[in-house]
Amino acid sequence: MATIGKDIQAAAQILADGQLVAIPTETVYGLGGNALNRASVLSIFETKNRPAFDPLIIHTDSLEKVGHFVTKFDGMAKALAEAFWPGPLTLLLPKRDIIPDIVTSGLDMVAVRIPDHALTLELLGTLDFPLAAPSANPFGYISPVSAAHVDAQLGDKIAYILDGGECNVGIESTIVGFVEDVPTIYRLGGLAVEDIEAVVGKANVLPHSTSNPQAPGMLKSHYAPRKPFFIKSADELLHAPADVAVLFFTKPEALSTNITRVLSDTGDVREAAHNLFTYLRELDTSDASEIWAEYTPVNGLGVAINDRLKRAAAL
């Protein structure tokens, strides 16, 4: 069973020994391992049951260190990094040979980010290697946003969970690459497209199936609860059968008698993102037979929330 604690030295030692540690970030918890050690990276894939064609993000704590892992870091990429790191942004940059091919599933680009979480930044500062860290959930399930979420699913497979409390942002980072110098969003996430465009101009948002460049369309179900999950209109939610669990965006006029969660009483998309995965887990572990949810408005993080709802419904 995993030890849950805040001991950075213990976590650093376990990682230096090649084992895995779950790390808190502002987005979701990551399953961290030494990105420069092939055996550690392989055990990340095995622990998550993740297919080898789905590449990992590496995490570090300074712009200077990023330069050790990539061959080119300037222009729009540098401008975004300076504007938003530490923060919920991942950049696709051309990798140096020091990054093993297993990290990038053989691609020439490596995904890099500096996460915004004090404990993890301190941990990264003590390490002489970057951490490869996918979300710390079994492949395809809802991402964890607390140490307890990690423990519930991977606790028997990892040595240590660094407990940094609840994740502030609550959904994964926004992944940005550059296709012929056009900023391109590979995955919608915790940094709004509007914020990115304010720094680098118009961005091209790829359809979600292409977030996995080597297997477009293969991952139609992602972030998925175990119960059947459907997207419905606000009116349908209010009239859901009694055994359906209901996820409202904002407080409805009348509350149904069903098992219910409201993502944000005031209709704030940031608060909704923060609550999304916790509420999905709660509804998924409830007695309900299925889950119905409604889309959020399409401003700010609402677009990224809807992307996750769509994937949960395998749309």
Spatial distance between the Cα atoms of 175 and 191, rounded to a whole number of angstroms: 9
The residue from 22, 36, 41, 175 that contacts ligand TXA (CB under 6 A) is: 175
* Torsion region of 46: left, alpha or beta (phi above 0 gives left; psi -120 to 50 gives alpha): alpha
Q: Count CA atoms within 13 Å of residue 170 on its CB side.
A: 21
* Residue 58 touching ligand TXA (CB under 6 A): no
Among 163, 172, 284, 307, the residue binding ligand TXA under the rule CB under 6 A is 172
262 binds, among Mg ion, ligand TXA, none (CB under 5 to 8 A by kind): none
285, 226 contact by CB (below 8 A):
no
| One residue of 4, 10, 83, 109 binding ligand TXA per CB under 6 A | 109
Q: Report the residue from 19, 40, 43, 173 that binds ligand TXA according to the rule CB under 6 A.
A: 173
Q: Tell me if 311 is assigned to a ligand binding site.
A: no
- Position 104 contacts ligand TXA (CB under 6 A): yes
By the rule CB under 6 A, 183 interacts with ligand TXA: no
**Which tokens go with 311?**
């994937």
Shortest distance, position 242 Cβ to Mg ion, whole Å: 33
Cβ proximity to ligand TXA: between 187 and 308 the closer is 187
164 half-sphere exposure, CB direction, 13 A CA radius: 27
Longest dimension (CA), the chain: 58
Q: Are β-strands 174-179 and 30-34 bridged in parallel, bridged antiparallel, or unpaired?
A: unpaired
Q: Pick from 19, 120, 135, 211: which binds Mg ion (CB under 5 A)?
A: 135
Does 43 contact ligand TXA by CB under 6 A? no
Contact 75, 195 (CB under 8 A): no
211 binds Mg ion (CB under 5 A): no
Task: Retrieve residue 142's tokens.
Answer: 């809802």
Say whether residue 173 binds Mg ion (CB under 5 A). no
Q: Tell me if 273 sits within 8 A of 26, measured CB to CB.
A: no
Closer to ligand TXA by Cβ: residue 90 or 146: 90
Residue 239 half-sphere exposure, CB side, CA atoms within 13 Å? 3
Scan residues 187-216 and list those touching ligand TXA (CB under 6 A).
Answer: 187, 211-213
Amino acid at 69: F
By CB under 5 A, residue 104 contacts Mg ion: no
Q: Which does 47 bind (CB under 5 to 8 A by kind): ligand TXA, Mg ion, none?
A: none
List of residues contacting Mg ion (CB under 5 A) = 135
